Amino acid sequence: MAASALLLVPIAIAMTDFSQRINWGLQGAGLAVPIQLLNAVGALCVVYAYRYGRAIIVSPMTSAAAPMITVMLSLYIYSTDPLDIPVKLTGIAMAITAAFLMVIDGEGEKRE
């Protein structure tokens, strides 16, 4: 992953417009610091979840939670009513139900 990122550095430099000013304020690069700190905390939480949790639960939850949160945020931000289209509401309900069932499925089992 690091090697492929290094291979893409010349392409990124070629695509950069160096004539533009860099916005160092809170709307530009200054906002990247807290966002990346949250990203690092999230990555650490995922590592601990894989270490202490079951991969069969953690993996689908980490893959399914982000799209579900995105859907909920987009419904709120764009003031969209999912009741307008029943297929949307059904899909959202099924995704939330599946995530909930994955979590409660093995609660009664003992871990060794």
Domain segments of the chain as ranges: 22-52, 54-112
The residue length of the chain stands at: 112
Q: What is the pLDDT of residue 94?
A: 85
Q: What is the pLDDT of residue 19?
A: 94
Residue bearing the bigger pLDDT, 8 or 74? 8
State the number of CA atoms in the 13 A half-sphere of 69 facing the CB.
6
> What digits encode the pLDDT tens for the residues 47-106?
998 899 887 778 777 777 777 788 888 888 888 777 777 887 888 888 778 777 776 755
- The Cα 112–Cα 98 span in angstroms is 26
111 pLDDT higher than 60 = no
- Contact between 30 and 24 (Cβ < 8 Å): yes
Beta carbons within 8 Å of 82's beta carbon, 6+ residues apart: 75, 88, 89, 92
Q: What is the pTM of this model?
A: 0.52
